[in-house]
Structure formats: structure tokens, C-alpha cells
């Protein structure tokens, strides 16, 4: 089983980490498209173009069996086109965990942290429409411009990052929000700061484990035995903070440069 995974940078490695602990006997190819990061502040057309280029690269160079779009923004902009273009490919996307957040909250007050593009996307609105009406829920949505860049620079504990998060989170804290959806795969990397600011007991909803389990189900349907060792190969289209990769994955993984011009 050969699996291609991509995101605009480090964030998708939170998904890769879950896949590594779930999927056995596979080759994982991860592309951090740092040349075009952050996706959350690009147009839908630009994100779709990047997503198609990366998928074509995975297929032509690595002959992948499955694709994981480890980015909420790219899922919203590109998943339907990718599935139409490559119907033979297993394709798993990423979406904000609105449903599990609603099932988890006790106060009925749910915060959503996401990129501007995700919150403006049609897919996100469909999720909200489908699930929020099922019980009395107050949704506190917050776009987080600039947060992905801080994380990409390794500033997960930086005072600047804390100030940004405080500005966004303190209104939620005062309102009694008890559950926060991390609507970007980068955001689990600042979980400790979020918990520090919110003070009281907090449920943080991110989707790496759910994606890994879904990928395994679909792989088994295609005959995957899920035995043996899984190997990880990491590529970047631009600069990347390699120390952060080691901290996240738990071991040093070499990073190769890649050009998506085929």
C-alpha cells in the first residue's frame, strides 16, 4: 500500500503521526508544500491547482494507491475534483470535527479555530448546517490568520503566538466554551498554549486518528493485510523547519526537496 499525504507545511504531519500508529506494511510519502504556504490565505482556484499538481506527482512518481488530503483548506477546495479526476484512487480528506464537538460539549458552547479559507468554504458551511441544528449549540467561529506561519517557523511556545491566541480565545473563555474544534491540521501543535489560555477543562477536537482509521478501513477493502513495517518519506517544495519534524514524529526523518513541475 503506497499512500501520498500532503499539506502546505508541518501541520499534516499530525495526521501522518496517527497513520504511522495505525497503518502497517505501507510506504508513506508526505509533501509539505511550503513554497505555497499557507493555503488558508490563498484563493480556492490556487489551492485546487496545487492539490492537482501534488496528486499527479504522487501518481506518476510513486504510483500511490491512496491519497490523504491532510489539510482542511485543501479538502474544501479540491476533494470533489480530485475524486472525479481519480476515481480509482482511495481519497481521504480532512474536515473540521463539528459533529464530534457537538457530541462532546456539555455547555453547548463550541469554539472553532480555522483558517479564513476553511471558514469561508462551502464544505464547512454544509457541516455546520448538517449538525448544529440537532441540539441547542452556540458556535464561536474564529479565523486565525498568521497562526500557521508561526507554527511553521517553530514558534509554538513563542510569546507572539500566545498573544495571538489570547486575543482569539479569551472571548470564548469568558463565554464558557468547553470544546474547541481545531479546524487546521497545524493547530494541534499549539494545543498546550490553547489549554493554558482557556484555563478550565477543555475538549480539543482534531481529526488525525479518525483519518487514520478511515484510511485503514478503505485499504482493507482493497485487500491490504496491515502487516509489516511502514516507511515514511518526507518532501518539501520550499524551506521547512526540520527540527519541528523530528519533535513531531519522534525521530529524525530526512527531508528531500521536490519540484512539482513534471
Whether residues 12 and 44 fall in one domain? yes
Whether residues 82 and 113 fall in one domain? no
- Do the Cβ atoms of 124 and 96 come closer than 8 Å? yes
In a domain, 225, yes or no: yes
Whether residues 26 and 85 fall in one domain? yes
Between residues 82 and 249, which one has the greater pLDDT? Answer: 82
Q: What is the mean pLDDT of residues 102-114?
A: 95
In a domain, 22, yes or no: yes
Prediction pTM value? 0.91
| Measured distance CA(262)–CA(260) in Å, rounded | 6
At 17 the pLDDT is 95
Q: What is the mean pLDDT of residues 148-156?
A: 92
Mean pLDDT of the chain: 94
Confidence of residue 251 (pLDDT cuts 50, 70, 90): confident
Whether residues 219 and 233 fall in one domain? yes
For the chain, how many structural domains are there in total? 2
At 260 the pLDDT is 84
* Planar angle of CA 182, 187, 192, nearest 5 degrees: 100
Closest listed residue to residue 95, CA positions, set 189, 184, 203, 204: 184
At 135 the pLDDT is 82
Q: CATH number of the domain that 149 lies in? A: 3.40.50.1860
Grid coordinates representing 82? 480530485
Residues recognised as catalytic: 71, 184
Whether residues 139 and 86 fall in one domain? no
Q: What is the mean pLDDT of residues 78-85?
A: 97
Is residue 107 pLDDT above 60, yes or no?
yes
H helices of the chain, where? 13-20, 44-57, 72-85, 98-104, 116-120, 122-131, 147-152, 159-175, 191-198, 208-221, 242-249
Q: pLDDT tens-digit profile of 177-193?
A: 999 999 999 999 999 99
In the block, cell 482493497 appears at 222
At 133 the pLDDT is 81
Grid coordinates representing 10? 508541518
At 30 the pLDDT is 98
Q: What is the mean pLDDT of residues 127-131?
A: 92
Grid coordinates representing 99? 459533529
Q: To the nearest whole percent, how much of the chain has pLDDT over 70?
A: 99
Q: Quote the distance between the C-alpha of residue 216 and its chain's center.
A: 17
In a domain, 244, yes or no: yes
Confidence of residue 241 (pLDDT cuts 50, 70, 90): confident
At 78 the pLDDT is 96
Closest listed residue to residue 112, CA positions, set 163, 177, 35: 177
Q: pLDDT tens-digit profile of 202-211?
A: 999 999 999 9
For residue 158, the enclosing domain spans: 98-205
Confidence of residue 200 (pLDDT cuts 50, 70, 90): confident
Is residue 262 pLDDT above 60, yes or no?
no
At 261 the pLDDT is 66
Per-residue H/E/C for 134-189: HCCCEEEEEECCCHHHHHHCCCCCCHHHHHHHHHHHHHHHHHCCCEEEEECCCHHH
Confidence of residue 90 (pLDDT cuts 50, 70, 90): very high
Between residues 116 and 165, which one has the greater pLDDT? Answer: 165
In a domain, 132, yes or no: yes
| Measured distance CA(7)–CA(185) in Å, rounded | 8
Amino acid at each position: 500500500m503506497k499512500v501520498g499525504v500532503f499539506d502546505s507545511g508541518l501541520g499534516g504531519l499530525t495526521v501522518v503521526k496517527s497513520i504511522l500508529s495505525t497503518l502497517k506494511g505501507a510506504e508513506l510519502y508526505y509533501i509539505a508544500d511550503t513554497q505555497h504556504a499557507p493555503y488558508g490565505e490563498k484563493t480556492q482556484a490556487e489551492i485546487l491547482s496545487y492539490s492537482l499538481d501534488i496528486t499527479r506527482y504522487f501518481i506518476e512518481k510513486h504510483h500511490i494507491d491512496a491519497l490523504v488530503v491532510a489539510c482542511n483548506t485543501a479538502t474544501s477546495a479540491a476533494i470533489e475534483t480530485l475524486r472525479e479526476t481519480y476515481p480509482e484512487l482511495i481519497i481521504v480528506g480532512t474536515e473540521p470535527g463539528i459533529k464530534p464537538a457537538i457530541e462532546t460539549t456539555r455547555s453547548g458552547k463550541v469554539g472553532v479555530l480555522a483558517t479564513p479559507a476553511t471558514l469561508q468554504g462551502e464544505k464547512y458551511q454544509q457541516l455546520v448546517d448538517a449538525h448544529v441544528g440537532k441540539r441547542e449549540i452556540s458556535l464561536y467561529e474564529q479565523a486565525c490568520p498568521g497562526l500557521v506561519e508561526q507554527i511553521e517557523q517553530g514558534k509554538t511556545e513563542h510569546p507572539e503566538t500566545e498573544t495571538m491566541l489570547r486575543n482569539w480565545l479569551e472571548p470564548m473563555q469568558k463565554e464558557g466554551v468547553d470544546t474547541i474544534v481545531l479546524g487546521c491540521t497545524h493547530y494541534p501543535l499549539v494545543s498546550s498554549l490553547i489549554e493554558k489560555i482557556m484555563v478550565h477543562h477543555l475538549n480539543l477536537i482534531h481529526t488525525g486518528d479518525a483519518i487514520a482509521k478511515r484510511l485503514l478501513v478503505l485499504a482493507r477493502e482493497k485487500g491490504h493485510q496491515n502487516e509489516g513495517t511502514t516507511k515514511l518519506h518526507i518532501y518539501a517544495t520550499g524551506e521547512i523547519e526540520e527540527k519541528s519534524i523530528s519533535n513531531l514524529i519522534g525521530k529524525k526523518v530526512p527531508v528531500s526537496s521536490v519540484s512539482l513541475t513534471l
